[in-house]
Amino acid sequence: MVVDFHTHIFPSQMRERREDYLRRDSAFAEMYSSPKAQIATAEELLASMERAEVDTSVILGFAWSEQELCREHNEYLLEAAARSGGRLIPFCVIQPRAGDDALAEIERCVRGGARGLGELRPESQGYSLDQGAGDILAGAALRHDLALLFHVSEPVGHAYPGKSGLGLAAFYQFVSCHQGLTAVGAHWAGGLPFYTLMPEVREALANVYIDTAATPFLYSPAVYRQVAELVGAERILFGSDYPLISQRRQRQAIEDGLRDDEDGKRLVLGENACRLLRLGHDEKR
């Protein structure tokens, strides 16, 4: 089974009335003001999955600053997943600063089928994980068995729209303090795997998964093999960042990058995601 752990879809009103949403949210404006920044719907994602032979996709929305917009987006993700016959797995977003409203929204999303929270961007949403927000997220994750997927950015290298969101050091701090939960660091966790040559970092990352979202824009193809050597292929998840990168292109990049490693490819393209989300148990029996 092939699973893309990192795709973004939006309800059609957010695409049609994009200007309104650009005005309401500065992080959304930073990333989506350019008409070239594509916005895809669930139907378009499902068509892409056919083309790329992807069985299941984790669907993410956008980390809005306003809790009301998070809710509007979550509504769409849950409905799209419910209509997909298991092909789409929803992760939801909340604004932890909304307090009880955020907690109530998490409960509602879990009842509606959410399996995680993400893609979380604490810096763009205006909160810090070392304040109460981190405890809210960690508590909810443990209580409801949710994975937390964070956008993590490199402290060095070129700038790009949406780069800030959560720095590598803040992500590391959070996962070190909350080792019992399942966290996913998007975009190779901002390069954190390279620090696993330090024993204490290696230990702190024991439950952390890393996804490959947008790799062709960030790293040379050697990253697949080198990170697999550093942390093990069992910790790397195929994620495209669709529609920013096509699912077919990202899948091909992984297949090329792990050319001679059949086990590694199988793990990265789907087995790790199945284990993490406990998918496909019926087939295995």
The nearer residue to Zn ion, 1 or 37, going by C-beta atoms, is 37
Q: Closest Cα partner for 31 from 111, 101, 121?
A: 121
Q: Which residues pair with 60 in a beta bridge?
A: 8
**Shortest reach from residue 150's CB to Zn ion, in Å:** 8
**Shortest reach from residue 266's CB to Zn ion, in Å:** 25
Q: How far apart are CA 150 and CA 187, in angstroms?
A: 9
170 binds Zn ion (CB under 5 A): no
**Shortest reach from residue 97's CB to Zn ion, in Å:** 20
**Shortest reach from residue 84's CB to Zn ion, in Å:** 22
Among positions 151, 178, 235, 251, the unique one binding Zn ion when judged by CB under 5 A: 151
Nearest residue to Zn ion on Cβ basis: 151
Q: Segment contacting Zn ion (CB under 5 A): 101-109, 179-187, 242-250, 256-264?
A: 179-187
137 binds Zn ion (CB under 5 A): no
**Shortest reach from residue 152's CB to Zn ion, in Å:** 8
Q: Is 129 exposed, middle or buried (0-12, 13-18, 19+ CB in 10 A)?
A: buried
The nearer residue to Zn ion, 151 or 235, going by C-beta atoms, is 151
Cis peptide before 154 (omega within 30 of 0): no
186 binds Zn ion (CB under 5 A): yes
Cα 95 from chain centroid (whole Å): 16
The nearer residue to Zn ion, 5 or 224, going by C-beta atoms, is 5
The nearer residue to Zn ion, 92 or 186, going by C-beta atoms, is 186
Q: How far apart are CA 193 and CA 210, in angstroms?
A: 8
Helix (H) and strand (E) counts in the chain: 17, 8
Cα 270 from chain centroid (whole Å): 15
> Residue 117 — φ and ψ, nearest 5°?
-120, 135
Q: How far apart are CA 265 and CA 258, in angstroms?
A: 6
Q: Segment contacting Zn ion (CB under 5 A): 76-84, 146-154, 173-181, 250-258?
A: 146-154
Q: How far apart are CA 59 and CA 117, in angstroms?
A: 10
6 binds Zn ion (CB under 5 A): no
163 binds Zn ion (CB under 5 A): no
**Shortest reach from residue 8's CB to Zn ion, in Å:** 9
Residue ranges in contact with Zn ion by CB under 5 A: 151, 186
